[in-house]
Amino acid sequence: MILIVDDKPENIFSLKTILELHSFPTDTALSGEEALKKILRQSYALIILDVQMPGMDGFEVAAAISGYSKARDIPIIFLSAANTDKKFITKGYTSGGMDYITKPIDPDILLLKVKTFYRLYEQNRELNRIQASLRSEIEFRKKVEDELQERAGELHSILESIPQIAFTTAADGKIEFVNERWLKYAPSKQTFPITHPDDPDLVKTWERTVASGKPLEMEVRVRPIDEEEYRYYLLRAIPVQEGDTISKWVGTFTDIDDQKQAVRKKDEFISIASHELKTPLTTIKAYVQLLERSIEAEDANKLYVDRALVQIRKLDNLIVDLLDLSKIESGKLKFNKRPFQFEAMLSSAIDMIRQTYPDYKIIRTGEADIQLYGDEMRIEQVIINYLTNAVKYSPDNKEIHIETTVSPDNALSVKVRDFGIGIPKAHQANIFSKFYRVEESANRFQGLGIGLYICAEIIRRHAGEFGVESEPGHGSAFYFSVPVLEGSAIEEPAA
């Protein structure tokens, strides 16, 4: 908008007409005072200012404008009588564009000047806009940078305060920060701590982890640079996400050597204790079996001998499980794999459960008249374990279904469904872990929590899969599937 200031309405009229004819929006003021008021309220691209006016003259108005920070840069074109001294014109006005036109006005000259100033004004405005946005961009970046630095500082003090060996790396895996403790175990800030020669190479592991973008968790033996003895550490590293991208990695080494030793001692104890228990129990079992055979069916003592045998078998099973557990721990669980008739094995397992638990109704569905390659006794052990658990955890509903299917891609699956107490969702993922028992029912049902752990290991070693579906109060379905490999030998997967 252009402000035309003149005390003569006819002058204003002719100027306004010329400018509006050329699409310049205009505003008018009939005196210097009125012009100043308007300038304070509104912003103008250009002011055309008559010099000779009653009251405030043009120069005084210009001088006043130069005092307003908001209006200081508005260009002014003075309308003056001919021969006005230029020096005079610049008086009181120090910055911004300025020019003059002598009266009578030549419209072409006026338009030329207005256009030039208008363009200048537009460019100026654009420059100011760009400058303002650049300034706010710079301020924003600086703020973000300050925040980042503050956060990194906080993270570093946290990593200094913890008892672990700790480090952070850039997104590409290059080490950026290590805490004091790191330097007791690593030759420099840029190299990883010294690990046992038999453990995986940390540099390569780290490269793979960074490439995968997935968290790392591994046990590794580490020693201080000035000592000989290695200790077990748990190395954990997680990527720090910013939006969808990884901005850095944070990692720690936690000393778990004492726990490892305790677990090893416990495993050793279980192994020794179960071996020591097994020998006398085998002898007891043999004698009681002899006794059972020598007693007449009508003999009143037969009942006691039978009961003793049931308990001996229970104890025997527990010890066998403990021995299996020790073998898994030490990598000595051996498999005797060869082809066998699955259906025959399954029928005999079901018969055995039916005899042992005559109150339970075991319904078999499906058909699996196949030859399976695997360790027959171990596969049977899994099925018996699933079935005895189904019996044990269904005290009020005595129906159990066992279903077998052979899929088109030649996998055999076995599913044992009961209608018993079920397993809460939160426990289902852990149910196959060592010593894991559902807390809520642990007091009601005896057990060690190792049966399913052994089953899992057996299925894994047959390259199979396993799992559970369950609804608390409605029952559970435990299943496993193993590949039916036609013909003879398959490689056993590494333990």
Residues that bind ligand ADP (CB under 6 A): 389-390, 393, 418, 420-423, 431, 436-438, 441, 447-453, 476
Which one, 222 or 400, has the nearer CB to ligand ADP?
400
CB of 288 to ligand ADP, least distance (A): 24
Which one, 134 or 363, has the nearer CB to ligand ADP?
363
Which one, 68 or 435, has the nearer CB to ligand ADP?
435
* Spatial contact of 280 and 268, defined as CB atoms under 8 Å apart: no
Residue entry with tokens 């969702």: 425
* Spatial contact of 15 and 7, defined as CB atoms under 8 Å apart: no
State the Cα–Cα distance between residues 356 and 87, nearest whole angstrom: 122
Strands 26-29 and 76-80, by their bridges, are unpaired
* Residue in the shown chain whose Cβ atom is closest to ligand ADP: 447
Three-state secondary structure call for residue 275: helix
Strand partners, 481: 413, 465
For residue 430, give both structure tokens: 């852990």
Which one, 107 or 449, has the nearer CB to ligand ADP?
449
CB of 316 to ligand ADP, least distance (A): 15
Burial letters 240-250, b for 16+ CB under 10 A, else e: eeeeeebebbb
* Spatial contact of 385 and 449, defined as CB atoms under 8 Å apart: no
CB of 218 to ligand ADP, least distance (A): 27
Which one, 24 or 436, has the nearer CB to ligand ADP?
436
Strand partners, 253: 165, 235
State the Cα–Cα distance between residues 448 and 322, nearest whole angstrom: 9
CB of 167 to ligand ADP, least distance (A): 39
Q: At residue 87, what is the residue type? A: K
* Spatial contact of 437 and 449, defined as CB atoms under 8 Å apart: yes
Which one, 80 or 476, has the nearer CB to ligand ADP?
476
Residue 187 neighbours by CB distance under 10 Å: 11
CB of 336 to ligand ADP, least distance (A): 23
Three-state secondary structure call for residue 253: strand
CB of 391 to ligand ADP, least distance (A): 9
CB of 421 to ligand ADP, least distance (A): 5
Which one, 195 or 274, has the nearer CB to ligand ADP?
274
State the Cα–Cα distance between residues 302 and 493, nearest whole angstrom: 48
CB of 477 to ligand ADP, least distance (A): 9
Q: How many helices (H) and strands (E) does the chain have?
A: 14, 17
Which one, 349 or 423, has the nearer CB to ligand ADP?
423
The secondary structure element, H or E, covering residue 48 is strand 46-50
Which one, 118 or 480, has the nearer CB to ligand ADP?
480
CB of 402 to ligand ADP, least distance (A): 12
* Spatial contact of 386 and 411, defined as CB atoms under 8 Å apart: no
Considering only CA atoms, which of 313, 477, 462 is closest in space to residue 374?
462
Which one, 6 or 418, has the nearer CB to ligand ADP?
418
State the Cα–Cα distance between residues 9 and 479, nearest whole angstrom: 100
Residue 387 neighbours by CB distance under 10 Å: 24
CB of 169 to ligand ADP, least distance (A): 41
CB of 441 to ligand ADP, least distance (A): 5
Distance between start and end Cα atoms, the chain: 85
* Spatial contact of 76 and 62, defined as CB atoms under 8 Å apart: yes
Which one, 248 or 437, has the nearer CB to ligand ADP?
437
